[in-house]
Structure 1
């Protein structure tokens, strides 16, 4: 009887694992097909910009300015559908600049840093514009301003959690609500919510995103903790797998001491 139960448990785990793996694979395959389709669409525009001497960094900057302007100009006034259209037009710059960098062979760490940093500004502008909308134009639902602000904070924390984990040599990707999920949800539902005059649709999706983003932060935090506990070498702040620097011998000045004077400790 014990063997039977254990076998059933293992069978259920294997089945659920396969289903989970299949769902992840299907999602990745769908995103790849999406990118391939839009790459074919934007490639003529990207090639034209390259011929005109426009850099990928310039496209990244202009795209971010357009997203921020669309969100902060139209959303606070209650023009959600119009702001969404403007934002969507500039969001495609994220595909264009990547294609331009790969085609011209100018992909670099600087470009990756600039793209990721400006993405955070765009995300903040989108949710910040909705915060201003609920705090002003939609004065009958002030509590939604707090919900949207929480969704903004948790979205930023989700991205930070991954970046910090990777800087420590760990992994913290995935989760219930990644960046693409948050943006697509709020823009698509926001558009139809305004066009159909059903503001409750946007309110519902923002509430769900606030909860989902919070869960994602918890998931990534637990994932990092699990990795650290599984490998004691990850517990140190140095390079994973290397021991911490040895303490100086008695009477010997530390590395941050010069000419007998203590230099201020480094901060992080």
Structure 2
């Protein structure tokens, strides 16, 4: 059997064979260059980064309220975690939310698949250039490929009203703790973070309580930023309740602003 040629996506392009570079755009951006090389190279990278932001904003601006689902790309179809992801994607879509994932296989595919089973729902995948090829799954209505992780992360946060994390590896943990940091520092508000799978996440929560909290690295109220559940309906209800609370708060703020504007000067 003929060995398949290497392949990699680069933004909107696909390169194969000898054209596949040995490093990713992120790797080259973060690499330390010679004394003056950055003067000639980085300004052009800024334009490419700007273009990725423009493309992402343009494609996602008209999305309905959305929830991002994270989880392992290595989760096998037919596993309990895959079934949970599919049920979760469907339940979110039935509640009126677009479902955003990283666009890959495993849990991401499961959530997109569940959403795609609901008429009128929107299933979104935000992919990333990786040294190893990872194709977009087949259950995505809108898929965008990014070169840079930080641009992709911005899109996850900007266009989501909550995160739900199923069991996953380093990538899932990265997104999880970034979301928690943004909520803790009030960079985003009313942004629920739900962990599905008490057996998987229980050890992490024990460490957070037993090490971070006990040593004063976080405050007791920071634990309220995380909800752990095994119940899909509860996970969706947390998102819906936070969304309603945010809408009510905006209405109250608008009423206060209108009242102040109406006061005689």
TM-score in same-fold range (> 0.5)? no
Instruction: Tell me which interval the TM-score lies in, with the shorter structure as reference length.
Output: under 0.3
Give the helix-richer structure, 1 or 2: 1
User: What's the TM-score once normalised by structure 1's chain length?
Assistant: 0.27
| Larger relative contact order (Cα-Cα within 8 Å, sequence gap ≥ 6) | 2
User: What's the TM-score once normalised by structure 2's chain length?
Assistant: 0.27
